[in-house]
Amino acid sequence: MREKYVRFCVSLPKDLLEELDRRTVLRGYSSRSELVRDLIREMLIEDMWEREEEDVVGVLTIVYDHHDIRLVSRMLDVQHKYHVNVLCNTHVHLDHRNCLETMIIKGKASQIEGLSTQLAGMRGVKFAKLVKAGKPEK
């Protein structure tokens, strides 16, 4: 079934509209409306994570030195410490020394953020970023 769209008017200062148009082009959107819809969705996801009422989903990306066997063991311990459901884990060897891992995680926002913070702060982790993706579909 096709979604019903409602048109509404927004007044913006000229410089803000120019910036919106610049970003629309830079990000490859077909229209201002597409960009605004994505910005609203992003804001709603942020609010959902702050409310902490229901489970949410995030994607954690980390790059680390896989030669540090203790690091790998500590990373697994942290994953088990948090009662967060790691739905999927992908491990890629970037080069002789570095691995990239992505984890799709479902749980309470505070649990996911705690897991992310713990992993990011470990010695040997070179990069970590959590993307807040929303809530699981019912």
Tens-place pLDDT, residues 37-53: 999 999 999 998 988 78
**Whether the predicted pLDDT of 137 surpasses 70:** no
> What residue numbers bound the domain in which 71 lies?
56-134
67 marked as binding residue? no
99 marked as binding residue? yes
Amino acid 85: pLDDT: 84
88 marked as binding residue? no
For 61-84, the pLDDT digits (tens) are 999 998 888 998 899 888 888 767
Q: What is the CA radius of gyration of the chain?
A: 19
- Which CATH number fits the domain that encloses residue 103? 3.30.70.1150
Of 133, 127, 67, residue with least CA distance to 95? 67
Amino acid 131: pLDDT: 96
91 marked as binding residue? yes
- DSSP calls for 43-99: HHHHHHHHH--S-EEEEEEEEEETT-HHHHHHHHHHHHHS--EEEEEEEEE-SSSEE
Amino acid 54: pLDDT: 85
Q: Per the domain annotation, does 3 fall within a domain?
A: no
Question: Is the model's pTM score more than 0.95?
Answer: no
Q: Per the domain annotation, does 5 fall within a domain?
A: no
